[in-house]
Amino acid sequence: MTFGERISSIRKRLKWSQDELAKKVGTSGPIIGRYERNEIKPAIDTAKSIADALGVTIDFLMGDDDMVIDKKLFQKIKDIESFTEEEKTKIYDLLDMAVGYHKAKKKIFLNV
C-alpha cells in the first residue's frame, strides 16, 4: 500500500471525509485528496499531524510497518519501557497468558 492509500484506508475506516481530516491537520480537503492520490507528498511535520489525527504511527503511513498500532496501545508500550525488569516480566507473563487464551479460544471456535 502506498502512503496515500494508507491515509485513505484509515480515514475511511474512521468514517471521516477528506475535509474532516483536513480540519484536524490544518490543511484543506483537496490537499488531503492529492496526498491520497499520491500526487504530492506532505512535509514531515504535516505527515506527523496526519498520523496523529488518524491515530497511527508515521512508520505505518510511510509503509515501514504494516501493523496498525493504536496510539493508546503505543503509549502503553512506551509506559512499560519505564518499568523495572521485574515489573516488565510480570506484564509480559500476563500478555502471554492473554494471547494464549485468545488463541486457544479461537482454535476451539474454528474446530467446532
- What is the tens place of the pLDDT at every residue in 33-81? 999 999 999 999 999 999 999 988 888 888 866 666 677 887 888 899 9
Yes or no: domain 3-62 corresponds to CATH 3.30.465.10: no
Cα separation, 105 vs 86, in Å, equals: 29
Cα separation, 99 vs 53, in Å, equals: 29
Domain ranges of the chain: 3-62, 82-111
Half-sphere exposure of 3 (CA within 13 A, CB side): 19
Residue with cell 480537503: 29
Residue with cell 494508507: 6
Average pLDDT, the chain: 89
Residue with cell 483536513: 22
Among the listed residues 15, 18, 7, 17, the one whose alpha carbon sits nearest the alpha carbon of residue 47:
7
pTM passes above 0.85? no
